[in-house]
Amino acid sequence: MRRASLLKFSLDMDSGVFVRDEHLTSRDGYIVKLEEDKKIGYGEIAPLPGFSEETLEQVFVQAQEMLIQWLDNKALDYTHAYASVAFGISMAQAELEDRIPHQITYESVVLCSGDPDDVMKHLENVTPKVAKEKVGLYEPIRDALTTKTLLQSLPDLHLRLDANRSWNEKKAAYFVKYLPLELRKRILFFEEPCKTVELSIKFAQENQFKLAWDESLREALLNQDEDRVNFLLQCDEANTIVIKPSITGSLDRCLALVQSAQQYGKEVVISSSFETSFGLSQLSRLAKWLTPETLPGLDTLRFFAEQLEVKWPGFNTNKYIKFEELEISWFKNAL
């Protein structure tokens, strides 16, 4: 006997969270629950404003349509499904079928933010000494000096830098001007430094950086531009692919992308996009399974005031909510 449910959640966020200039006061979405005999599988469906093309209303309608197909024992085709719906339902299926490991490692690369002294004190006890730094939010000279201070203070530290395509050629040049060449060797990769792929490649060639693709690759996948996808995967200047599964698509699509990237010798970093603590726990399990030698980037829970189902160590929130406390927005039994 099969059953399917959609449980509505709305978790409060830190009041100062902005995603692509949109103020995100709450994280809203659905938990999909699949039941078959005595087995249960869960997944999270939560389109991210500013990143996802779909709205919460659209995913609610599409998720119901796909779950009705599942209840009728029909194979689900995720090809044209919204990314958040495809990932959430496919993860619930994978849990139901026991396809993904159960262990949650709670591992994540350290994000350098807040008071610099506190960051360095924390990094002193981190092994391996790898951290992520967001650049492009302030003036490039300030970013360069911060990066320089971190690397000089901790001689065994290696950094992942992420600029979210913030810089033009002039700003990128300012950053490089204030960061000595000997320190650049300890930057593992530079994620999307410039506004275009071509400018990023030029920047990497001229300054001895390696790149990581994130938004550019995801956009090529969304546009079904196979030539662009292959170009990015084969790009010699890039050594890393960053995958945000919940805004990329189904589990199988993510698996195929990981395999393709690794086939071309690229490292893969599983990264978060403001999932709940439950959603992060699933990404943690995926990362340990698919990229066991690489620390994932699961650093967005600090923006939440509440946690859902899974208590993430090290994060003190005002409220912890169980699935059983959520509103059932839709429920249906197989006929």
At residue 176, the pLDDT reads: 93
Q: What is the DSSP letter of 75?
A: P
Question: How do the residues of the chain divide into helix, strand and coil, expressed in percent and rounded to 5?
Answer: 40, 25, 35
Pick from 192, 198, 181, 237: which is nearest to 215 by CA? 192
Domain 110-302 maps to which CATH number in 3.40.50.9100, 3.20.20.120, 3.40.50.300, 3.30.420.40? 3.20.20.120
At residue 119, the pLDDT reads: 82
* Tally of CA atoms within 13 A in the half-sphere of 324 that contains its CB: 0
Residues of each domain in the chain carrying CATH 3.30.390.10:
2-102+319-333
Distance from C-alpha of 21 to C-alpha of 50, rounded to nearest angstrom:
8
Residue spans of beta strands (DSSP E) within 47-155: 110-111, 130-134
* Tally of CA atoms within 13 A in the half-sphere of 247 that contains its CB: 22
Please report, for residues 20, 58, 88, 130, 208, the alpha-carbon distance to residue 45 in angstroms, rounded to integers and kept in the order given: 20, 11, 5, 31, 40
Q: Which residues are catalytic?
A: 134, 244
- Collect all residues with Cβ–Cβ distance below 8 Å to 148 and sequence separation of at least 6: 178, 179, 180, 183
What pairing do the DSSP bridges indicate for beta strands 187-191 and 158-162?
parallel
At residue 115, the pLDDT reads: 75
| Two tokens, residue 1 | 């006997």
Q: Which helix (H) or strand (E) holds 205?
A: helix 197-207
Domain 2-102+319-333 maps to which CATH number in 3.30.450.20, 3.40.50.300, 3.30.559.10, 3.30.390.10? 3.30.390.10
Strands of 130-134's sheet in order across = 110-111, 130-134, 158-162, 187-191, 211-213, 238-243, 267-270
| Two tokens, residue 241 | 């692919």
- On whether the CB atoms of residues 209 and 181 are closer than 8 A, the answer is no
At residue 117, the pLDDT reads: 78
What pairing do the DSSP bridges indicate for beta strands 22-23 and 18-19?
antiparallel
Residues of each domain in the chain carrying CATH 3.20.20.120:
110-302
| Two tokens, residue 271 | 């990264």
At residue 14, the pLDDT reads: 82
pLDDT averaged over 10-residue windows placed end to end, the chain, 335 residues: 96 82 90 96 96 95 98 95 98 96 93 81 86 92 93 94 93 93 94 96 95 96 94 97 97 96 97 96 97 94 93 84 97 89
When computed from its CA atoms, the radius of gyration of the chain, rounded to whole angstroms, is: 20
Please report, for residues 41, 137, 240, the alpha-carbon distance to residue 151 in angstroms, rounded to integers and kept in the order given: 44, 19, 21
At residue 203, the pLDDT reads: 96
Distance from C-alpha of 42 to C-alpha of 241, rounded to nearest angstrom:
27
Within a 10 A sphere around the Cβ of 52, how many other Cβ atoms? Answer: 18
Residue in this structure with the two tokens 């992308």, named with its chain if needed: 257
pTM, entire model: 0.95
